[in-house]
Chain A
């Protein structure tokens, strides 16, 4: 048998790249970012220590920051539930024995596949234009055209719609989850005279809850960091009237447009703290609604 030393050497030989990369590209930058967040730094001169000034400014003197934080929360807490709800609905529609399901699954997944690209953001910008097909469709069904780029609320909804449109990857995960629920549960419930709604709330939701938890956490984190659509759709401005100035975009502008590196670092730390709090809230709440088979239910 091999000696302990040799085993350890082999272990660190294999994971060595990860440790080196972690130190160089993660831990040193994290510490540096933590230090910068207490400084005023423009990238060209030495950072000036200003204590908690950046954080104070954010919450008391920078209405644009508070606005950006507010619309990002709206984007996340409206967009993610809508996206997951839609994904679950479509997954349930597709959870049948029909032969066409494979084709439908592919078609519904396509928006998610291309959704992160610049091309789709450009497309979105154009279909929501004053003469775009969205307004044409609205007028056909008798609703007034909306000036999506003239109104900050409408512009934010445009981003939310883009996020909901990409429900495909969550749908695939839900579909895999639905397929793993034993058919006999539903049969037994039917024998006992359960309605569709009862089967949905007593079998589908509890059985799927670990998957919903996983999706909720991953999608919330990803939504909080959304950058490309806001950047492209507003041509980098966050407009109209800061209506699409999502947190990442404002951070990017503070850092690389105004060269407020200290302020942007402080913003990044607040973002990290918010994401950590959100993730733990979802986790802690999960003991009240997530059902694990192995525990025999609650």
Chain B
């Protein structure tokens, strides 16, 4: 037994050391956000802020123009919640249809859905922009939110796979007891697919929170900016010495992502391991 110890220590040194190396940039970003802006690159080799200051957070939180960073966070929250609601409602409805109902054309539409999974956004980006411009939806959340109420192929697929694991006998028993198909969906299936809905919600949150291309295309006035766009603005206004504020707000933008990950870690890891959702 004893001979195993050195081997174990080498293993942990190697694997742990690699982890520290990979996460070092993030730690550096965090610690630099507590340094005085002018010192960030002068003392780039040290992780310890001296003096330790919060002024970057105060300055960053003021945002730019007339809008504080709180406004951008609120905008992003609204954006995320509206997309989240859309995905949960539409994807569960559509997935139930594909997984449980027999109807003419089911295979055809399912194949179509799988194909849209592979379709690059760039192909539909320009015509979609023109359609939304015609509808006078530019500079609003509508072009970013409304499509979410018509399903998202990745999550539909995830939910279909999950519903297929639920025994059909449950549906049949409910029908015999007098349920119609819609109440089979609401009373039997929905409560049983909560774990898959949680995965859908978490990944919808990540993808929407990080989304940059959509907001850059559709939102023009700073009062409607999302966090991603605000960070992009910090970067384009970058002057010699305001790295500190930019770093601080970058950290703020990562906090919700980390918090949700640590609360729902199990769903995230299972979501990726079983269905290959990209993180």
* A residues neighboring B (CB under 8 Å): 7-8, 10-15, 17-22, 24-26, 28-30, 32-33, 36, 43, 90, 93-94, 96, 98, 100, 104-120, 122-127, 129, 131-133, 136, 165-166, 168-169, 172-173, 175-176, 214-215, 218, 221-222, 224-225, 227-228, 231-232, 235-236, 248, 251-252, 255-256, 261, 264-265, 267-269, 271-272, 275, 279
Cross-chain contact A127 with B25 (CB below 8 angstroms): yes
B253 contacts the other chain (Cβ, under 8 Å)? yes
B64 on the interface (CB 8 Å rule)? no
Residues of the B chain whose Cβ atoms lie less than 8 Å from the Cβ of A26: 116, 119, 124
Given A18-B156, A32-B130, A33-B124, verify A118-B210 contact (CB < 8 Å): yes
CB A263 to nearest CB in B, in angstroms, measures 10
Do A11 and B102 form a contact, CB below 8 Å, given A18-B94, A225-B120?
yes
- 17 of the cross-chain contacts (CB-CB < 8 Å) are A11-B102, A12-B103, A15-B98, A18-B97, A20-B150, A25-B150, A32-B131, A100-B15, A114-B258, A119-B231, A126-B243, A133-B24, A133-B44, A133-B45, A168-B279, A225-B122, A252-B213
List B contacts of A10 (CB < 8 A).
Answer: 97, 101, 103, 181
Known: A169-B278, A215-B276, A272-B119. A119 touches B250 (CB 8 A): yes
Looking across the interface, which residue of chain B has its beta carbon closest to that of A106? B265
Cross-chain contact of A268 among B18, B19, B125 (Cβ < 8 A): B125
CB–CB B123/A269 < 8 A: yes
Chain A's closest residue to B227 (CB) is: A118
Which one of A13, A118, A215, A264 contacts B231 once the chains associate, using CB atoms below 8 Å? Answer: A118
Q: State the interface size on chain B (CB cutoff 8 A).
A: 88
* CB pair B131 A176 closer than 8 Å: no
Given A104-B16, A106-B265, A111-B22, is A11 in contact with B120 using a C-beta cutoff of 8 Å? no
Knowing A109-B269, A172-B272, A275-B118, the reply to whether A133 touches B28 (Cβ < 8 A) is: yes
Give every chain A residue within 8 A of B44 (Cβ-Cβ).
131-133, 136
B221 is an interface residue with CB less than 8 A from chain A: no
A268, B122: Cβ atoms closer than 8 Å: yes
* B235→A235 contact, CB < 8 A: yes
Q: Which 8 A-B pairs have the closest CB atoms?
A: A21-B150, A11-B103, A14-B97, A29-B127, A119-B250, A32-B127, A176-B273, A29-B124
Nearest-CB residue, chain A, relative to B273: A176
Q: Quick check: is B251 within 8 A (CB to CB) of the other chain?
A: yes
Q: Is B120 a contact of A235 with CB atoms below 8 Å?
A: no
Tell me, yes or no, whether B212 is within 8 Å of chain A by CB: yes
| Residues of chain B contacted by A225 (CB below 8 angstroms) | 120-122
Which of B14, B217, B268, B273 neighbours the largest number of chain A CB atoms within 10 Å of its CB? B273
Q: Is the CB of A30 within 8 A of B123?
A: yes
Would B101 and A11 count as touching, CB distance under 8 A?
yes
A133 touches B25 (CB 8 A): yes
Q: Cβ of B265: which chain A residues have Cβ within 8 Å of it?
A: 106
Which chain B residues numbered 96 to 134 have a C-beta less than 8 Å away from chain A? 96-98, 101-104, 106, 109, 112-113, 116, 118-128, 130-131, 133
Chain B residues with CB below 8 A from A14, complex form = 93-94, 96-98, 101, 185
CB distance from B127 to the nearest CB of A (A): 4
Q: Which of B7-43 contact A (CB under 8 A)?
A: 8, 11-12, 14-16, 18-19, 22-26, 28-29, 41
12 more A-B residue pairs beyond the given contacts A90-B18, A100-B16, A271-B123, with a C-beta to C-beta distance below 8 A = A8-B104, A15-B98, A18-B90, A21-B149, A29-B126, A29-B128, A107-B19, A110-B261, A122-B235, A131-B41, A267-B122, A275-B118
